[in-house]
Structure 1
Amino acid sequence: MNYAAPAYGLWVLVIVNSAIFIVFAFSFFKPHTARDWRSFDAFSAFIVALFTEMCGFPLTIYLLSGRLQSGYPGIDWLYHDAGHLLEMLFGWTTNPHFGPFHIFSFLFVGAGFMLISAAWRVLYAAQRSGTIVTVGPYARIRHPQYVDFVFVLFGFLLQWPTLLTLAMFPILVWMYIRLARREERGAEAEFGAVWRRYAAEVPAFVPRLTRVENA
């Protein structure tokens, strides 16, 4: 498989693409607390690492080049589209941007940003009124903002997996879980029985098929 020209070393694109997604995420998430900023900073680091390999320097391709070239001799791994590793490894022979993993990646990324937007609108209103947010996405799970970020990160992994982002992904998931648990302790201390009743009815990360009804 051959491509017209390599497309690495484009550091301006690394900066521009990273900035676009980081600013886009910031416009939805709008971090205020220190915990919010830690979550957002971790997401930003993932995005920078992703676009560095996508447009700057293909570290993963270089590190795996020997194994990839011997296993898939028909692919020129130094050309840009070959960075869509899942399409290449599963034998997608046409434009990888129309491959199944790339399409699924857009579904995850798009759904993640839409849910972040929906969650932020109701969260911001609850923060201003000093109440627990229990409507919108928060009616189904207690931490949609973190689940949404995981959706976006997973979507990018499907589109352009790298060794660095694959290593970062479980660390970020673990970090978001810790932040969520810490927020829950603060919410329980502030709202007491109201929070405990909400937590008993609504799961943390995975929505139930049916809601728990109060006795």
Structure 2
Amino acid sequence: MGTRPDSPWGTTMNSAPNDYGLWGLVFLNSVIFVGFAYSFFKPANLRDWRSFGAYGAFIVALFAEMYGFPLTIYLLSGWLGTKFPGVNLLEHDAGHLWWLITGRHGNPHFGALHILSFAFIFAGFTLLSKAWHVLYHAQRRHELAKTGPYRLVRHPQYIGFVAIMFGFLLQWPTMLTLGMFPALLVMYVRLAISEERDSEQAFGEAWREYAKATPRFIPNLFKASHARQAGGH
């Protein structure tokens, strides 16, 4: 079914430059960001592959809309075309929907949300790297991972994945990734609980003591700061 020539989408497609259809960039960016995470996370079992696969699906869905076909722009084209009649919806900048909807002007790549998104993405990858390093050595020694990021929370690797995905949502929201994000949060919580059951079976009382003192996802920064000060005396 074709688009009506008088619709905002039809007018844009027929008369304005189209910054999409760049499937090579979709593939390249997907490989880079999935491969980068793999180099830090290195899935070792089925649970790891489930968490990593969910992240990978999010990344592919994101870049498919960022450079391939703008499904969200297409579905919202009637409303966007009416609200922003002078905007070419097929320009790349229009895909920064937070920037567009709030009526910002200029280059969205220098906006506060875009810069904040890079901070979350960088922090997420850094956390993945540090968490994997600790976990790898703990597994080799058949010990609980309790140092580094694991000193503050029990599941820093899942926090890292969530931080990366949240950063991309700040940068380039789509209907698909916005829908996937809460579902992935629920999935990561369930994976974390399943992982904890296995850890309790493997380490018994040592795990229970660790779990009692260490939050699952949200660090107690006041307690951590007090512990550091006490350890310094």
Measured against the shorter chain, the TM-score band is over 0.9
1:29 touches 1:116 (CA, 8 Å); kept in 2?
yes
Structure 1: how far apart are the matches of 2:168 and 2:140?
A: 33
1:46 touches 1:168 (CA, 8 Å); kept in 2?
yes
Match of 1:53 in 2: 65
Counterparts of 1:150-165 in structure 2 under 5 Å? 150-165=162-177
Select 2:143's aligned residue among 115, 131, 135: 131
Q: What are the Cα deviations for residues 1-28 of structure 1, in whole angstroms up to 9, with x where unaligned?
A: xxx9431001111111100101000000
Structure 1: how far apart are the matches of 2:19 and 2:37?
A: 26
**Structure with greater Cα Rg:** 2
Structure 2: how far apart are the matches of 1:207 and 1:87?
A: 31
1:119 touches 1:144 (CA, 8 Å); kept in 2?
yes
Match of 1:119 in 2: 131
Alignment of 1:77 onto 2:89: yes
What's the CA shift for 1:104?
A: 0.8
Give the total of aligned pairs: 211
- Unmatched segments (≥5 aa) in structure 2: 1-15, 228-233
Match of 2:203 in 1: 191
2:17 touches 2:90 (CA, 8 Å); kept in 1?
no
Alignment of 1:19 onto 2:31: yes
Structure 1: how far apart are the matches of 2:197 and 2:176?
A: 32
Structure 2: how far apart are the matches of 1:99 and 1:18?
A: 24
Structure 2: how far apart are the matches of 1:48 and 1:33?
A: 22
1:11 partner letter: W
Match of 1:30 in 2: 42
Structure 2: how far apart are the matches of 1:180 and 1:89?
A: 36
Q: Which moved more, 1:147-156 or 1:91-100?
A: 91-100
1:122 touches 1:135 (CA, 8 Å); kept in 2?
yes
- Unmatched segments (≥5 aa) in structure 1: none
Query: Post-superposition, which runs of at least 4 consecutive aligned residues in structure 1 deviate over 4 A?
Result: none
2:68 partner letter: G
Structure 1: how far apart are the matches of 2:165 and 2:92?
A: 21
SS of corresponding position for 1:112: helix
Q: What are the Cα deviations for residues 70-110 of structure 1, in whole angstroms up to 9, with x where unaligned?
A: 12223221211100000111122010111111111100000
Match of 1:182 in 2: 194
Structure 2: how far apart are the matches of 1:78 and 1:65?
A: 10
Select 1:68's aligned residue among 73, 77, 80: 80
1:87 touches 1:100 (CA, 8 Å); kept in 2?
no
TM-score by length of 1: 0.95
Match of 1:145 in 2: 157
What's the CA shift for 1:119?
A: 0.7
Q: Which moved more, 1:91-100 or 1:73-82?
A: 73-82
Alignment of 1:102 onto 2:114: yes
What's the CA shift for 1:163?
A: 0.3
| Percent of aligned pairs with the same amino acid | 59
Structure 2: how far apart are the matches of 1:87 and 1:93?
A: 8
Alignment of 1:210 onto 2:223: yes
What value does the CA root-mean-square deviation take over the aligned residues? 1.5
